[in-house]
Amino acid sequence: MKKKLAHVLFTSAMTITAGFSDLAHATDTNSKPVFYSISALPSFAGSSSDEVMAINNSSLATGTSSVGYFGHSFAFQSDAHEIYSLGSLGGSFSKGLSINSLGQIVGFSFNSQNQIRPFYWDSISGMHDLGTLGGGRGTANGINDVGQAVGSSSTANGIQHATLWQNGNVIDLGTLGGNGSEAKAINNQGTAVGWSYIGGFIRGVIWNGNQKIALGTLGGNNSYATAISDKGVVIGYADTSTNGRALAYWTQVNSPNILYPIWPLGPNGVATYAYGVNHCGQIVGTSFDGSSKAFLYNSLTGVMVDLSDTIDRTTGWSGLTNAVAINDSGVIVGQGIYLGQRKMFILTPTPICPYQLVPDTCKSN
């Protein structure tokens, strides 16, 4: 019997009272323009820890909600009020990490033997184990609209390798020559990104057909790729020449050695990390300056904004700390502080949100 997806209602009442340039200059919180409506995502009753990880183009999202030592992956959508548990593979914890346009979800779950296993879930067949490369553990990090999933799993000798699950097959994507790799995302063209050990360091990787392409760095030794858009925009973060400092970057599949840095917010910013990108080239992530700040960066215009400055603070939200995913309509999910507690949020732009934040090509979807 087809399982019913649970849903949650999001509201979208807001007005813009000033131009984009005022965003950087307003000092009174209540006088700043409001570019996004914000809603708290629901969690399981009695939950102590919640984390949203992904959102698709229908605003169906996934993540995990924990009650004590037990946590289950969930699904929720923008046209009803409930949160729906996806269950587990027999263990006490599961976490949804990616969702495609069909509502298919992948992630990881503990099984009854307390092994971490990669799962696939849909509303008809429920959750099942995707299998590994011969070892006992694995994680599925991304799924595209064709149903190809990527992540990592252990081989028979216990080494973690980037893995593709396709048509019932478990495929080893290999490494850059080092002892371990992981794929983090895959686009609808079947191009995957992630990281691999190479020569004692870690480099971001693009798996494109039979090619394994190493990404550059920002002056340091290591880089990581976290997501890829259908237009071939790759994002992630990389070490700089400054000890201990990492910066988010974006690049293109056809020019992987040219990394464009995304600088931190404010004069005291020290690091940035990029986690989500959509087909318009909008990038979301976290900027650090002693505290965490969720950001939105537009790779087409170079505009970057602290997402806490785009919402109505009188709604109870004191700050948005992390943005993890953005869909092709510019809807963003992440974590923030609501009434003094850490909560999951969803941000929805209105049609009058400035072009610098939401390009018209996104608004039309």
Confirm whether 322 is domain-assigned. Answer: yes
* Phi-psi category of residue 48: left, alpha or beta, with phi > 0 → left and psi -120 to 50 → alpha: alpha
Confirm whether 288 is domain-assigned. Answer: yes
- Whether residue 277 contacts residue 283, with contact meaning beta carbons closer than 8 Å, is answered with yes
- Whether residue 256 contacts residue 213, with contact meaning beta carbons closer than 8 Å, is answered with yes
Residue by residue, pLDDT tens for the chain (365 residues) are 333 333 222 222 222 222 333 443 333 445 567 899 999 988 888 777 899 999 999 999 999 988 766 777 888 665 545 788 899 999 999 999 999 999 999 999 999 999 999 999 999 999 999 999 999 999 999 999 999 999 999 999 999 999 999 999 999 999 999 999 999 999 999 999 999 999 999 999 999 999 999 999 999 999 999 999 999 999 999 999 887 789 999 999 988 889 999 999 988 999 999 999 999 999 999 999 989 999 999 998 899 999 999 998 888 999 999 999 999 999 999 999 999 999 999 999 977 688 677 777 676 55
- Domain harbouring 235, CATH code: 2.130.10.10
Count of domains forming the chain: 1
Confirm whether 11 is domain-assigned. Answer: no
Q: Return d(Cα 248, Cα 273) in angstroms, integer.
A: 5
Confirm whether 15 is domain-assigned. Answer: no
Give the residue from 289, 219, 285, 211 showing the smallest Cα distance to 254: 211
Q: Return d(Cα 282, Cα 230) in angstroms, integer.
A: 12
Confirm whether 26 is domain-assigned. Answer: yes
Helix (H, G, I), strand (E, B) or coil at 54: strand
Task: Give the range of the structural domain holding residue 136, as residue numbers without chain letter.
Answer: 20-357
Confirm whether 215 is domain-assigned. Answer: yes
Q: What is the pLDDT of residue 74?
A: 81
Confirm whether 214 is domain-assigned. Answer: yes
pTM attached to this predicted model: 0.89
| Largest separation between any pair of C-alpha atoms in the chain | 61
Confirm whether 8 is domain-assigned. Answer: no
Q: What is the pLDDT of residue 46?
A: 74
